[in-house]
Amino acid sequence: MTETTQRKPRADPGEIVAVVRRVIAENGREYVWYYAAAAACLVAVAATTAFSAWIMRDVVDQIFYSRRADLIVLICALVFGAFAVRGIATYGQAVILAKVGNNLVARYQQRLFDHLMRLDIGFFNENRSGYLAAQINQNVAGIRDLMGITLTTVARDIVSLIGLAIVMVVQDPVLSIIAFLIGPPLVFAVDRLMRRLRRITRESVEINSRLIGAMQEATQGIMVVKAFTMESQLSRKMAELIANAEARSNKIARVSERLTPIAEVLAGLAVAGVIAYAGYRSAYGDQMPGAVLSFITALLLAYDPARRLAKAQVSLERALVNARMIYEILDLEPRQRDAPDATQLVVTKGEVRFSNVSFGYSDIMPVLHDVSFVAGAGRTTAIVGASGAGKSTLTALLERFHDLGGGSISIDGQDISRVTKTSLRGAIAYVSQQPYLFEGTIRDNIRYGRETASDAEVEEAARLAAADEFIRQQAEGYDTLVGENGVTLSGGQRQRISIARAIVRQAPILLLDEATSALDTESEARVQEALGTIMQGRTVIVIAHRLSTVVGADSIVVLEQGRVVEEGTHQALLADPHGVYARFTRVQNVKGLGLVDDIKQGAGPRKPVKRATSGRGDAA
C-alpha cells in the first residue's frame, strides 16, 4: 500500500451517492417493485415501532391511572396488532432483500466474468489469477450491501427515528431537547472513525486476496510443492499472510465497533438526564406519568435506529470500498479493440504473410525486429530458434493477443488489424505445449473447439486424434469428469484431447506451439500421428525447439534475437555449414528426414539417429 493511498481521505457523502446512483441506474428497473415492497415493509416496521411508544401513554393513563376497563380490550388488540404487523413486515423485508441481494451478487459475478473475457491478454499477464478471483469474490458483495444498507437506512431507520422523534416532541418538547443533545458528539465520533476505516478496509481486501490466491496457487501446484519439499516454506509464507489478514480484520473490528461504547455512553447520559428531569418534575409537579413513560419508551426505541444510522456510515464506507474496487475492474477498457470499420475475415486459401513485423512487450524490451516471411497456403512452415528468439510471440501476434509495434500481418491479403478478432481466431486452431483442460467432461473439453459440434463430430475428432480408445476406457467414457486441468490424465492423453479440440474446430489455419516437446517418446509418437491427420490441406505454422520434428516442413524460418536470419527447406539450410540452422542441427544431432516428413508419408514418427556427444544438451 503506497503512502499516497494511505493518506486518502474517506469518501464524502457525494461519492457514496454517486456510487449508489450508478448501482440504481444499472439495476433499478429490474428490482424497482422488489425494493418498493421491501420499503413498504420497512415503513410498516417503523410505523409500528413509533405506535408502540405512542400507545404507552394510554396504557398508563387510561388503564392504570384512570382505570378505564372499557378500553383494555381495544388497547391490547392495538398492541397485539402492532407487534403482528411488525413481525410479518420484518420477515417480508428480510426475504425480499435477501433474494434481491443474492441476485445482485449473481448478476455482478456474471458481468465481471463477461468483462474479464473481453479484456486483453496483457491484463492477465499483469494480474495473478488467484489474487484476481479472490478479490472479486470478496468485493462483489459490496454492491449488495450498498443497496441493502441504503434501503434499510432510509426506509426503516430514518422513518423510525423521525416517527419516534415526533412522538417525543409531542409528548414533551423540553425533554426532547435534552435527548437530542447527543446528536452532535455522535456525528463527530462517526466522522473521526470514517477517516481510518476506508484505508484499513482496502488493505484488508488486498491482504485477504493475496492469502486466498496463495492458497489456490499452492493447491494447483501441489505436485511441484511435494517434489521440491516446499511444504514448510509455503507454510511459513501462509502463516505470515494469515497473521497479517487476522491483524487487519482485528483492526477493522476495533475501529468499527469503537462506535458502540461511544454511542452507549452518550445514550446513557441522555436517558439519565431525561429521567432526572422528568423525575424531579413529576415529584414536584402534577404532570401525568403516561406522557413521561411514553416519551422514555420512544427515547429507548429511538436508540436502536439512531445507533444503526451511526453505524450505517461505517457499513456504507466498507461497502463503498468493495463496490469501488469492483467498478475499478468493470471500468477497465480493453487495450485491444476491433477497428471501427472491422470486417469479417474470409479465408479462401490460408496464406499468412508477416511483413516487417516489430514488437516489444515494453519500450525497453523489444522482441521482434522487421520480421518478414510467408507461410504458404496449405503448406507447413516451421519457426525455429533459441529460447527467447520470439517464436511464440509470433503466434501470439497472429492471434492478435497483442497489437503490433510495426509492420503488418495478413491472411489472404486481409490485414488482421482490420478484421474482427472473433472471425480471426475462429479461423485458427491452436495446440499449445501445455494443453489446458477446463472443468467439465472430456466431451465438453473437446466441444470447446466448436460449440455447435455434434456428439458424433466430437467422437470422430477424438478418433482422428488417437484419443477415442483411452477415452472409452474411462469410467464414464466421454462423459467422464476431468480433474483440475485434467490431472487424472497423462500428459499425452491431455495433449490428444487438445488436438481433438483443434480438429473439431475445422479451422483452415493450424498453430502448433511446441506441441510434443514435453511428452515421452511413446506419447510423442501417438500425438505426432494425430497431428499428421489435421495438418493435411491446412496452413500449418509449427513452433519447435527440437529440429527432428520439423525437418520435413515445406519451409523453415530461423529466428535469432528477434530477427529472421535464415529461411528455406531443411536440406537448403544445411547447405551452409556456417549457418545458424546448421549449428542447431549439429548441437541436436539431427540428420536426414524427420517426423514431419514421415507423417506426411504416413510412415509414423522416425526416431532420430543417436550419436555420441560431448555432453552438450539441447541448446535450441
C-alpha cell at 17: 451517492
pLDDT attached to residue 606: 37
pLDDT attached to residue 281: 67
Q: Judge whether residue 547 has pLDDT over 60.
A: yes
- Single-letter residue type at 195: R
Q: Judge whether residue 473 has pLDDT over 70.
A: yes
- Summarised one tens digit per residue, pLDDT across range 319-337 is 777 888 888 888 888 877 8
Q: Which of 231-245, 340-354, 362-376, 456-470 has the lowest mean pLDDT?
A: 231-245
Q: Judge whether residue 617 has pLDDT over 90.
A: no
- Summarised one tens digit per residue, pLDDT across range 566-595 is 999 988 988 888 888 888 888 776 544 443
Distance CA 467, CA 445 (A): 13
Q: Judge whether residue 530 has pLDDT over 90.
A: no
Q: Which of 22-36, 249-263, 606-620 has the lowest mean pLDDT?
A: 606-620
555 or 63: which leads in pLDDT: 555
- Summarised one tens digit per residue, pLDDT across range 395-416 is 889 999 888 889 999 999 999 9
Q: 202 and 321 in contact (C-beta within 8 Å)? A: yes
C-alpha cell at 514: 511446441
Q: 27 and 101 in contact (C-beta within 8 Å)? A: no
pLDDT attached to residue 12: 53
Q: Which long-range contacts (CB under 8 A, 24 or more apart) does 281-286 make?
A: none
Distance CA 83, CA 219 (A): 52
E-only strand ranges, 282-400: 352-362, 365-375, 380-385
What confidence category does residue 291 fall into, taking pLDDT thresholds of 50, 70 and 90? low
Q: How far is CA 34 from the centre of its chain?
A: 28
- Summarised one tens digit per residue, pLDDT across range 113-146 is 888 888 888 788 777 776 777 777 777 877 777 7
- Summarised one tens digit per residue, pLDDT across range 351-374 is 999 999 999 887 777 889 999 999
Distance CA 602, CA 523 (A): 17
Return the closest-CA partner of residue 519 out of 531, 504, 536.
531
Q: Judge whether residue 598 has pLDDT over 70.
A: no
pLDDT attached to residue 355: 94
pLDDT mean across residues, the chain: 78
Distance CA 353, CA 383 (A): 14
pLDDT attached to residue 327: 85
What confidence category does residue 550 fall into, taking pLDDT thresholds of 50, 70 and 90? confident
What confidence category does residue 290 fall into, taking pLDDT thresholds of 50, 70 and 90? low
Return the closest-CA partner of residue 47 out of 9, 99, 85.
85
- Single-letter residue type at 153: T
Distance CA 493, CA 218 (A): 24
Beta partners for 431?
A: 512
pLDDT attached to residue 594: 42
Find the angle CA(411)-CA(414)-CA(418) to the nearest 5 degrees: 120
- Summarised one tens digit per residue, pLDDT across range 53-105 is 777 777 777 777 777 777 788 888 888 888 899 889 889 888 888 888 888 88
What confidence category does residue 472 fall into, taking pLDDT thresholds of 50, 70 and 90? very high
DSSP H/E element including 370 = strand 365-375
Residue 350 gets which letter from DSSP? -
pLDDT attached to residue 601: 41
CATH code of the domain occupying 12-330: 1.20.1560.10
Distance CA 69, CA 488 (A): 81
Structural domain boundaries in the chain: 12-330, 378-404+422-580
Mean pLDDT of 29-57: 82
- Summarised one tens digit per residue, pLDDT across range 165-222 is 777 777 777 777 766 666 667 666 666 666 666 667 777 777 777 777 777 777 767 7
Length of the chain: 620
pLDDT attached to residue 298: 73
- Summarised one tens digit per residue, pLDDT across range 415-435 is 999 999 989 999 999 888 878
Q: Which of 150-154, 370-374, 502-506, 580-584 has the lowest mean pLDDT?
A: 150-154
Distance CA 467, CA 417 (A): 36
Distance CA 263, CA 111 (A): 40
Return the closest-CA partner of residue 145 out of 47, 256, 251, 19.
19
E-only strand ranges, 487-554: 509-513, 539-544
pLDDT attached to residue 256: 67
Distance CA 24, CA 371 (A): 51
Q: 144 and 107 in contact (C-beta within 8 Å)? A: no
Architecture of the domain made up of 378-404+422-580? 3-Layer(aba) Sandwich (3.40)
What confidence category does residue 10 fall into, taking pLDDT thresholds of 50, 70 and 90? very low
Q: 428 and 399 in contact (C-beta within 8 Å)? A: yes
Find the angle CA(365)-CA(417)-CA(403) to the nearest 5 degrees: 15
Mean pLDDT of 502-526: 79
Q: 449 and 428 in contact (C-beta within 8 Å)? A: no
Residues of the chain with pLDDT > 70, as a percent, come to: 80
What confidence category does residue 270 fall into, taking pLDDT thresholds of 50, 70 and 90? confident
